[in-house]
Amino acid sequence: MIRLIAAALVASTALLPGAARAAQSPPRAPEATGWGGAVSSIDPDASEAGISVLRHGGNAVDAAVATAAALGVTDPFSAGVGGGGFFVHYDARTRKVSTVDGRETAPASATSDLFVENGTAIPFDQAVTSGLSVGVPGTPKTWQEVLRRWGTLSLREAMGPAERIARDGFTVDATFNKQITDNAARFTDFPATRALYLPQGTAPAVGTRFRNPDLADTYRELGRHGTSAFYNGPIGDDLLKTVRTPPVDPTSTRVVRPGDLTQADLRTYTAPVREPSRTTYRGLDVYGMAPPSSGGTTVGEALNILEGVDIGALTRTQYLHRFLEASRLSFADRNRWIGDPAFTNVPTKELLSQPFADSRACLISPDKTLTSPVAPGDPRNPTACATTGTPAPTPYEGEHTTHLTTADRWGNVVAYTLTIEQEGGNGIVVPGRGFLLNNELTDFSSTPTTPGTPDPNLPGPTKRPRSSMAPTIVLNHGKAVLAVGSPGGASIITTVLQVLTGNLDRNLPLVQAIAAPRASQRNTTTTQAEITFLATPEATALQALGHKFTPTTEIGATTGIELLNDGRWHAAAEPARRGGGAARVVRPTN
């Protein structure tokens, strides 16, 4: 059966030759409804890769890996085999939700002073564009692990569509062109990056065809030899050489520090299966990613804070006020308590308890805002309206992640967020391999965020930095009915929370909940808000309550799927953000 699927898949994904392929690009579509399964991602070619797997008998896990591998080609400045992520899976047969932690790890030699020189934190931009910032990538191991546990295809078969896209090319869109243009100064300083993305000194023009034959060869090698080629073989050797001796143009004046990853760091990397975070909300079970991601616990705590009020019955202003205040409080607790559970005793269960949420919810007034930064609560000893200790600030996280969601005809569902951190990662393409390296270790706190208070997110040997990725699956009486996620750094959490409450409480159709103007409060003095949000009458009303806003162009780029009452899948993506997403179903009915 698997061979038949693979043969059909290869035939269906053979790309058209020459100009014919360049002239055709799958359309973007913010929503699709139908039978047989669904895929939603930010990119049409990637969504088509996933749908082709479903059409030929693959399941949601197979489709997720195929989509993710294709995103590594067409959205390489957000994700790829040089990065990591978090994978949430719902098994329709067992009705169980499981998660795989593909977060990058620091080298065994890392200390809490990884980004400190002469007692001072290294400038952030220099920390990003360096070998120091590169964690052991988790994406290849994640793909192998999820296919082994729940998939039906081999790694080679699942990566087949992406290999073909990399070899034969895809059509450059405005987002791809802009991301290269925005990074041109640092990309120019690395010959391999420059040769791939600035071949004539400028970004490839919109509408032209872009090929990445080195990445196609890397995918082929991974498919033939498995992830041992990456973690204990020639791909890993090239990666280590790049990290330890960054290939900088000799004429560049950029300071690029080497990293200290070793073969042992690669060889001993694991992508563990972890228990998901879980909370109940309005009779539904909400599952997410537990630490080292803060996504599941922070979204879950905020939902618990909101549970005591019927926010569906409130005015839109009061709904948004409650949403922003719940975000503010849950971020105060996230910043104090969340880190890598292998190094920090994270009170996950207590953070997600309703008594703790109630002790925080009573701080919210309908008439005025809290003043940020709010001090955290003590989840192990919840006391009504009490705070404890010193507020911990929310460190910056790179916003250019990507998220995909898949579902199949059997009811299995995947929510998968993956990243290389900054837009373009650390800026360095591994020579001859065609993929960018991550800068995930800059998600650690460079120095203690609050002197005198334990910081759970300082660097350490083999430690995983705290993340905000929040792939989320919602169950109703044991059946997966909704899955969402988003890129956006720390704003991922608030984006997912806003989409969930918009859909579940405010009865917005999923695509409208995704398209709604966004604001993101992360226990800071001002709330980041899209310009479209600031143009609403509610923004003025919120300012009268004490909310202060900082404008931004856009927040996040959500994808999601939902199960309709008649059994059809509805896939939804952004109508406009990042140029719009690509929702697909196997057999459309709309």
Tokens read off for 251: 């004429």
H/E stretch holding 225 reads helix 213-225
* Rounded distance between C-alpha atoms, residue 180 and residue 423, angstroms: 9
Residues 6+ apart with CB under 8 A from 225: 233
449 catalytic residue (yes or no): no
Alpha helix segments (H runs only) across 289-315: 295-307
Nearest to 483 by CA among 192, 289, 303, 320: 289
Q: Where are the beta strands (DSSP E) in 184-283?
A: 209-210, 273-274, 277-281
CA distance 551 to 529: 5
Taking the C-alpha atoms of residue 90 and residue 94, their distance in angstroms, rounded to an integer, is 9
Strands 582-588 and 31-41, by their bridges, are: antiparallel
Strands (E), 220-295: 273-274, 277-281, 284-288
Neighbours of 78 (CB within 10 A): 31
CB-count exposure of residue 361 (10 Å: 0-12, 13-18, 19+): buried
b/e code 210-230 from CB counts within 10 Å (16+ = b)? bbbebbbbbbbbbbeebbebb
Query: Most distant CA pair in the chain: distance in Å?
Result: 67
The SS3 of residue 540 is: helix
Catalytic residue among 33, 105, 171, 401: 401
Beta bridge partners of 406: 39, 414
For residue 150 the two structure tokens come to 């729940």
Check: CB of residue 228 under 8 Å from CB of residue 215: no
> Hey, how many other C-beta atoms are within 10 angstroms of the C-beta on 208?
12
Annotated active-site positions, please?
Answer: 401
